[in-house]
Amino acid sequence: MRLLSFIFGLLVITLPASAQDTADQPGAYVADDLYVFMHSGPGRNYRIVGSIEAGLPVTILGRSDDGSYTQIQDEEEREGWIETQFLINTISRRAQLPELSQRVAERDQQVSALTAKQQKLQQQLVEAKQQISELESDQAQAQQRIQQLTAQIQSQDNEELYRMFTYGGIVAGAGVLLGIIVTFIPKRRRRNDTWM
């Protein structure tokens, strides 16, 4: 109870300047941390017709002559008079709380979604790096295989060239030998069938 009285007194001191500007506006909010009584007329000596919890929006219907009281209508369409100093022209923290809580929940969901997406991208990056490593290894093996095959082909080409030279030499040698042999074979004489 003391805490409520302290808060009430603190708000009575701090709110009058800002609350005076709200009287000309069609809507306002009951200041936070207050529990305001509505009177049937513009003064405390009028009968209390209800109360309004702090933070609730109200519609301004009019003002007293001295501006110290404002006629309002609450969300339940009850009408009454409250002290102008207890009205503020900005949405109260109490009214903002559900919206802010919803925003926080939405931000948390976005953060969770982004975190999950980041983890997925990191996993994909790890897999991509692993694939790149495997491909580089495969490429190195393929290059090594190409070098081996190139060396084999070069070796086979050299062997084929050597074989061709060998066969060519053999054929040339055999031709020369045959030529020599042919020169030593005696020729037959032709008979001369002419009559003498």
Q: Which of 1-15, 29-43, 67-81, 174-188 has the highest mean pLDDT?
A: 67-81
Residue 54 has pLDDT above 90, yes or no: no
Each residue's pLDDT tens digit, 141-193: 999 999 999 999 998 888 888 888 888 888 888 888 888 887 877 766 666 55
Please say whether the beta carbons of 55 and 86 come within 8 A.
no
- Whether residue 57 lies inside any domain: the answer is yes
Each residue's pLDDT tens digit, 65-107: 888 999 998 888 889 998 888 887 776 666 667 778 888 889 9
Query: What's the pLDDT score for residue 160?
Result: 86
Q: For position 66, which CATH number holds?
A: 2.30.30.40
- Whether residue 150 lies inside any domain: the answer is no
pLDDT level of residue 58 (50, 70, 90 thresholds): confident
Q: Return the structure tokens found at 109.
A: 């969901």
- Whether residue 190 lies inside any domain: the answer is no
- Whether residue 71 lies inside any domain: the answer is yes
Amino acid at 83: E
Q: What percent of the chain has pLDDT over 70?
A: 74
Each residue's pLDDT tens digit, 106-126: 999 999 999 999 999 999 999
- Whether residue 74 lies inside any domain: the answer is yes
- Whether residue 69 lies inside any domain: the answer is yes
- The span from the CA of 119 to the CA of 169, in Å, is 74
Higher pLDDT, 37 or 118: 118
DSSP state of 84: G
Q: What are phi and psi of 22, to 5 degrees?
A: -85, -15
Q: Which helix (H) or strand (E) holds 60?
A: strand 57-63
Query: What's the pLDDT score for residue 161?
Result: 86
Residue 57 has pLDDT above 90, yes or no: no
In the chain, the number of structural domains is: 1
- Whether residue 83 lies inside any domain: the answer is yes
Host domain of residue 13: 2-91
- The span from the CA of 112 to the CA of 125, in Å, is 20
- Whether residue 156 lies inside any domain: the answer is no
